[in-house]
Amino acid sequence: MTSQDSQTNSSSHSLALLYPTQLFAGVMLISLGPLLDPILRDLDIPLAKGGILSLGFFLGRVLGVLLLSFVLARVPLKRTLVGAAWVQAGALVVAGLLASSLWPLFGALLVAGLTAVIPNAIAGVWVGAHLREGTHRAMLLVLAFFALGVVVAPLAIGAALSLGATWRWVFVGEAVFSALMAVALMASRLPDVKGRENLRARHLKEMAGFAPRLLALMLTIVFLYVGSEAILGVWLPKFEIDTHGASQSAAAISVTLLWAGITIGRYLTVPLTRWVQPFRLLMVFAAVETLFILATVLSPTLLLSLASVFVAGLGASVIFPLIGGYTNRFPRWYAGVAYSGIMLTGTLGSAVFSYLTGPVAEALGLRVAIGLTAILPAVVMGLALVLGRISGESTSSRA
């Protein structure tokens, strides 16, 4: 076996170690959606303030990306993952057992969001730095496991609620899972990214100066896309309950179907990356997401709405991982910086758009609020064409 083959096998093994961390990160991302309605009812929180809870979780994700990039860069990746899992377990215990009103729960969710985003960010940083070939494929595979966690979580949460469990015990159960994840990570081996250091202003200037237009487009597309993803993940169950009279378990299935579409789409798109330029895939899939978000909110029945949700998920599936794949256009260490940047702008999009949906829904209704979400992937569709020109893909033949 050559040294190159040995290095490839080592990288593949290390990549596989990231899969379970992404699975649980997906569980954490989507948990608030199926639990939002019972939380609002139990704590007597009005609809307009429901977005404050999602703001807390996603604002925590913003802070987590900043912490990882500007404070924890010299801490080994494995140690960072383990520490985040333990802190997350504590935050979930507080959310489940001690939070008795809006703001204590906001604080617990903020810490949970901060720790939940760290596995997401670390995976992208690691892939961008270690896998210089097949980067788009590796991103799709890693994020497919993330999507799988999002698919499984609503089913499990919906079943637990149907069997009589409260939202508090769901959080406690996730705390136990997080603690088990910490123990498992302690026994694993994950190579660090050499040369990592805490970001400074000069790093950001150097990275932005390397490919400023490409970076700006990547950040804008991710801001819009993840914003749409957050709106659907948090508010879809509430929409199905209020609009179609769905049960708690049926409402949770709406998020499962969304992320089932995302998961399947990511797996099916892996071979397409060999023959189709990424910007073309972005355009087509963003168009599908736009059309079927509208179909979701305009469907006259629950069944048609749920079917449309699934196809919208297929459309949404490739946008984030393909943008993540463009980090290979940056020098090795800055690939991780670029990925941290798209994680940061994505979490900002989540916080902004998921929060704004609450007041819009209170004023105009949930159907209109979620229907307006279609504007975001529609803009992404247009920006993908610009991305093709800036990256040079639209003027080059596919190898």
For the chain, the structural domain boundaries read 3-395
For residue 1, the model assigns a pLDDT of 42
Query: Among the listed ranges 15-29, 127-141, 157-171, 308-322, which one has the minimum average pLDDT value?
Result: 127-141
Q: What is the DSSP letter of 48?
A: G
Task: State the average pLDDT over residues 244-260.
Answer: 89
Task: State the average pLDDT over residues 259-271.
Answer: 85
pLDDT of residue 85 exceeding 70: yes
> What pLDDT digit, counting tens, does each position of 319-328 carry?
998 898 888 7
Q: What percentage of the chain reaches a pLDDT higher than 70?
A: 92
Distance from C-alpha of 357 to C-alpha of 126, rounded to nearest angstrom: 34
Question: Mean pLDDT highest for which of 22-36, 201-215, 269-283?
Answer: 22-36
Q: How confident is the model at residue 136 (pLDDT cuts 50, 70, 90)?
A: low
CA 294 to chain centre: 22
Q: How many CB atoms lie within 10 A of CB 211?
A: 18
With H, G, I as helix, E, B as strand and everything else as coil, classify residue 269.
Answer: helix
Query: Among the listed ranges 172-186, 187-201, 318-332, which one has the minimum average pLDDT value?
Result: 187-201
Q: How many helices (DSSP H) and strands (DSSP E) are in the chain? A: 16, 0
Q: What is the DSSP letter of 191?
A: P
Of 394, 240, 239, 380, nearest in space to 316 by CA? 380
pLDDT of residue 147 exceeding 80: no
CATH ID of 3-395, from 3.30.1860.10, 3.40.50.300, 1.20.1250.20, 2.40.170.20: 1.20.1250.20
Residues 6+ positions from 180 with CB-CB distance below 8 Å: none
Q: How confident is the model at residue 130 (pLDDT cuts 50, 70, 90)?
A: low
Q: What is the pTM of this model?
A: 0.77
Distance from C-alpha of 81 to C-alpha of 78, rounded to nearest angstrom: 5
For residue 201, the model assigns a pLDDT of 72
According to DSSP H, which parts of 163-277 are helical?
A: 167-186, 201-210, 212-244, 248-269
Distance from C-alpha of 32 to C-alpha of 27, rounded to nearest angstrom: 10
